[in-house]
């Protein structure tokens, strides 16, 4: 098996689920993370950037350059998701107000383009937040559509075979900047989409699994603290949505996910953020319909075990 690593840009809005996804990414054997870009989403750009830097400090990965990205959507005022991520954006964990590590003071589109160009045909983007930065990159440098191998992301409505709730679902990431999503899904770049339904109902962590994560090591304990005030609303049981971690793991372990090819349309007018998914064998988007939940969770636990040597201070 070839040991070559794939260059990766992670575009993120930390966010509890984003930090949980970063934790299973930073020491992966096949991911060469060249750049992390932040985007306003779960919280405003200053908070999500602070949270990103804190996570990198905690997991001893401040050598990865971080660029503060877009502070608002292309055409809209960005909302935030305090209702689930809480005021600091880290659920049940209270981060320090300031961290030593700081993002590099550079333009997000310029830095993304530089990294894509230097790694053309061997680079993927893992998009964990609104698509604003990526849309701006495509608009300014349309040639990147031929350089980027794939985009892995999450958050969309479900097929017509699913329940009415999920057919009508509007993902936070999509409704935050539907115009950006429209640009990205029509760019021609191959995309894998994990629908919101999968993270919440087909690949979610149970309360027992959160307890297991908390006992792995200090980083697991930290993740468990975040999760302690991040339970998914609207369910009788206590569960944690794994949307962002699914996006990462769909790249790293595609064999765990069953996909079909689809076309996707996003509403930017009367129902902004709603997506319509239409099966099409020739569609550019790979849409996840099934996941090996048990094995996916084991891969996540294994990734956290790699962080044994780090402590939460």
- Per-residue pLDDT of 22-33, as tens digits, reads 999 999 999 999
CA distances from 293 to 17, 31, 33, 242, 266 (A): 17, 22, 26, 11, 28
According to DSSP, the residues that pair with 68 across neighbouring strands are: 38
Mean pLDDT value across residues 129-153: 98
Segment 130-148 mean pLDDT: 98
Q: What is the pLDDT of residue 1?
A: 37
Confidence (pLDDT) at 277:
94
Q: Which two tokens stand for residue 109?
A: 């589109």
**Whole-number Å distance between alpha carbons of 39 and 50:** 12
The rounded distance, in Å, linking the Cα atoms of 41 and 272 is 16
296 located within any domain: yes
256 in a domain, yes or no? Answer: yes
Mean pLDDT of the chain: 94
Contact predicate 114/7, CB 8 Å = no
Residue 5's SS3 state is: coil
CATH code, domain carrying 35: 3.90.245.10
Return the percentage of the chain with pLDDT > 90, whole number: 88
Provide the pLDDT for residue 162.
84
The band of 311, judged by pLDDT with boundaries at 50, 70 and 90, is low
Is 172:81 a contact under the CB 8 Å cutoff?
A: yes
H and E: helices and strands count for the chain: 13, 11
Residue 69: both structure tokens together: 């990205």
**Does the pLDDT value for residue 157 go beyond 50?**
yes
> Count of domains in the chain?
1
Neighbours of 92 (CB within 10 A): 15
- Arithmetic mean of pLDDT, 94-110: 92
Q: What is the dihedral of CA 290, 164, 17, 247, to 10 degrees?
A: 30
Q: How far apart are CA 247 and CA 152, in angstroms?
A: 6
Residue 312 lies in a domain: no
Asked, for residue 310, whether it belongs to a domain, the answer is no
Whether 245 maps to a domain, the answer reads: yes
Q: For 218-230, what is the mean pLDDT?
A: 95
pLDDT value, residue 102: 93
Q: Is residue 35 in a domain? A: yes
Cβ(15)–Cβ(41) below 8 Å: yes
What's this model's pTM, rounded to 2 decimal places?
0.95
Query: SS3 of 236, please?
Result: coil
Give residue 145's domain range.
6-305
What local confidence, expressed as pLDDT, does residue 79 receive? 84
- Here the tokens at position 135 are 């849309």
Q: What is the C-alpha to C-alpha distance for residues 301 and 220, in angstroms, rounded to an integer?
A: 9
Instruction: Kindly state the DSSP code that residue 201 receives in the 8-state scheme.
Output: I
Whether the CB-CB separation of 297 and 209 falls below 8 Å is answered with yes
pLDDT tens for 225-250 read 999 999 999 999 999 999 999 999 99
Predicted confidence band of residue 78 (pLDDT cuts 50, 70, 90): confident
Angle, alpha carbons 90-92-93 (nearest 5°): 60
Q: What is the dihedral of CA 144, 106, 47, 252, to 10 degrees?
A: 40
In a domain, 20, yes or no: yes
């Amino acid at each position: 098996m070839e040991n070559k690593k794939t260059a990766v840009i992670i575009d993120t809005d930390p966010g509890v689920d984003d930090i949980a996804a970063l934790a299973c990414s930073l020491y992966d054997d096949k991911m060469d993370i060249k750049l992390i870009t932040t985007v306003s989403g779960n919280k405003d750009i200053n908070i999500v950037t602070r949270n990103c830097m804190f996570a990198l400090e905690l997991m001893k990965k401040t050598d990865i350059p971080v660029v503060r990205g877009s502070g608002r959507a292309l055409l809209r005022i960005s909302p935030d998701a305090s209702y689930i991520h809480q005021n600091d954006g880290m659920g049940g964990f209270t981060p320090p107000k300031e961290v030593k590590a700081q993002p590099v003071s550079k333009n997000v589109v310029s830095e993304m383009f530089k990294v894509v160009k230097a790694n053309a045909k061997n680079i993927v983007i893992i998009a964990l937040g609104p698509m604003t930065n990526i849309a701006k990159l495509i608009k300014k440098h349309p040639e990147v559509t031929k350089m980027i191998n794939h985009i892995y992301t999450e958050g969309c409505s479900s097929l017509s075979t699913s329940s009415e709730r999920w057919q009508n679902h509007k993902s936070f990431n999509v409704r935050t900047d539907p115009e950006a999503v429209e640009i990205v899904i029509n760019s021609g770049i191959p995309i894998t989409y994990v629908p919101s339904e999968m993270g919440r109902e087909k690949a979610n962590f149970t309360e027992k699994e959160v307890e297991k994560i908390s006992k792995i090591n200090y980083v697991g304990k930290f993740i468990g603290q975040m999760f302690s005030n991040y339970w998914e609303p609207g369910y009788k049981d206590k569960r944690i949505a794994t949307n962002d971690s699914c996006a990462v793991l769909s790249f790293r372990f595609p064999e765990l996910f069953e996909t079909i090819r689809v076309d996707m349309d996003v509403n930017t007018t009367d129902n902004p953020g709603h997506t319509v998914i239409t099966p099409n064998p020739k569609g550019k988007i790979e849409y996840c319909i099934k996941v090996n939940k048990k094995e996916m969770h084991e891969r996540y636990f294994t990734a956290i075990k790699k962080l044994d040597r780090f402590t939460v201070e």
